[in-house]
């Protein structure tokens, strides 16, 4: 769908059923989410289990969900109070033009928000699914995406185009511009885009984007756009992610600001991407080109390109009409459609 529907107000929970084991951990996390000390006996009484069961579930929270739980003299607390995502919380932050036009779902745990929407009913589009945790989150080129519970933002939006845009390969770049606009509106003005689909702040990765084609529909097409933003993740929760990364909390703290609410951040991202899809269907890349040039972190920088098992160096020279990266190597300018590109800082 290329424009919001005026009478489609509906919100619903996540599609994937939550396992009994996951429900147990969600219930435990909800009892701890305020960050206050709670005795194991009180937790056991609230959950209707033994203190030993509580201790076992605390271990699972730490090891499987990367939740930072402190323990002292038989008491437990989260090192950081959690702001849980909710449908009302996200909808409240949406501009009026989208409150009745997009279905919002929130799930505690899914395999992958993108996979859920790819398998979902296209008749429900445009639709959004957010999750507190993904067990099979992934990034570009199939890489795993670390998803600690309620520490970051994991969001996917399914969108149908009545007519396939002429340069559909530009969609990851369009989404990068949309997400950067949303983050700037949240006061995070340092964000730049690293071709083709990573957002950086202060030289470190802040967010990633994964755009996937779901199906073709006559002259049109359906896409699912996944966005993952590091919000409050700690090094321990990152599980040894090798690349340099940062969080909204760190970027905001450097400017003596508080990180935005996760619900409000989700609303800003959803609205910006939805607005972007409407504009892209209508105008192509024209309404994004100036922002892309302003926020292109890669342009005129020395880069290393890894493709087909070999690497070579050059200088990035912007993008072509299809969104491919142009890299100057000696006397030649090569066009890169799909490769790993790292900045040489």
Q: pTM to 2 decimals?
A: 0.88
Does the structure show a pLDDT above 60 at 317?
yes
Per residue in 234-287, pLDDT (tens digit) is 877 776 565 688 999 999 988 888 888 999 999 999 999 999 999 999 999 999
pLDDT of residue 10: 42
Does the structure show a pLDDT above 80 at 139?
no
pLDDT of residue 202: 87
Query: Which of helix, strand or coil describes residue 66?
Result: coil
**What's the CA gap between 276 and 279, in Å, rounded?**
5
Q: Which residues are catalytic?
A: 140, 205, 344
State the angle between helix axes of 51-64 and 40-47 in degrees (0 to 180), rounded to the nearest 10. Answer: 100
C-beta separation of 129 from 271 below 8 A: no
Percent of the chain residues topping a pLDDT of 70: 89
Per residue in 20-67, pLDDT (tens digit) is 888 999 999 999 999 999 999 999 999 999 999 999 999 999 988 889
Instruction: Give the sheet arrangement for strand 340-343, strand by strand.
Output: 332-336, 325-329, 310-319, 302-307, 340-343
pLDDT of residue 64: 87
Does the structure show a pLDDT above 80 at 146?
no
DSSP 87: H
Residues contacting 332, CB < 8 A, separation 6+: none
**What's the CA gap between 328 and 318, in Å, rounded?**
10
When pLDDT is averaged across residues 116-131 and rounded to a whole number, the result is 94
Cα–Cα–Cα angle for 25, 17, 110, nearest 5°?
65
Per residue in 111-122, pLDDT (tens digit) is 999 999 999 999
pLDDT of residue 38: 96
Per residue in 192-239, pLDDT (tens digit) is 999 988 999 988 999 999 999 887 677 789 999 999 999 988 877 776
Does the structure show a pLDDT above 60 at 8?
no
How many H-runs (helices) and E-runs (strands) does the chain carry? 11, 15
């Amino acid at each position: 769908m290329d424009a919001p529907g005026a009478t489609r107000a509906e919100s619903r929970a996540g599609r994937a059923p939550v396992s009994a084991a996951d429900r147990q951990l969600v219930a435990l996390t909800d009892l701890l989410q305020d960050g206050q000390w709670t005795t194991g006996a009180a937790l056991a009484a609230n959950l209707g289990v033994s203190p030993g069961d509580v201790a076992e579930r605390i271990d699972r929270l730490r090891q499987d969900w990367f939740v930072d739980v402190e323990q002292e003299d038989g008491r437990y607390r989260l090192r950081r109070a959690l702001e849980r995502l909710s449908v009302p919380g996200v909808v409240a932050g949406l501009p009026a033009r989208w409150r009745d036009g997009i279905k919002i779902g929130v799930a505690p745990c899914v395999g992958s928000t993108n996979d859920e929407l790819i398998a979902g009913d296209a008749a429900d589009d445009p639709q959004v699914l957010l999750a507190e945790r993904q067990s099979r989150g992934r990034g570009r080129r199939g890489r795993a995406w670390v998803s600690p519970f309620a520490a970051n933002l994991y969001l996917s939006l399914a969108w149908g185009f009545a007519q396939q845009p002429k340069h559909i390969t530009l969609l990851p770049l369009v989404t990068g511009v949309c997400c950067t606009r949303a983050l700037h509106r949240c006061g995070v003005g340092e964000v730049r885009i690293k071709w083709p689909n990573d957002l950086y702040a202060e030289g470190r990765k802040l967010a990633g984007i994964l755009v996937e084609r779901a199906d073709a529909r006559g002259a049109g097409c359906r896409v699912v756009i996944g966005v993952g933003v590091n919000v409050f993740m700690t090094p321990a929760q990152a599980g040894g992610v090798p690349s340099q990364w940062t969080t909204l909390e760190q970027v905001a703290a450097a400017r003596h600001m508080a990180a935005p609410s996760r619900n409000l951040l989700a609303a800003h991202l959803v609205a910006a991407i939805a607005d972007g899809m409407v504009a892209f269907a209508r105008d192509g890349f024209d309404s994004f080109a100036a922002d892309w040039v302003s926020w292109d972190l890669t342009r005129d920088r020395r880069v290393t390109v890894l493709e087909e098992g070999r690497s070579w160096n050059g200088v990035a020279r912007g993008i072509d009409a299809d969104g491919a990266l142009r890299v100057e190597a000696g006397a030649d300018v090569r066009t890169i459609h799909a490769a790993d590109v790292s900045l040489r800082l």
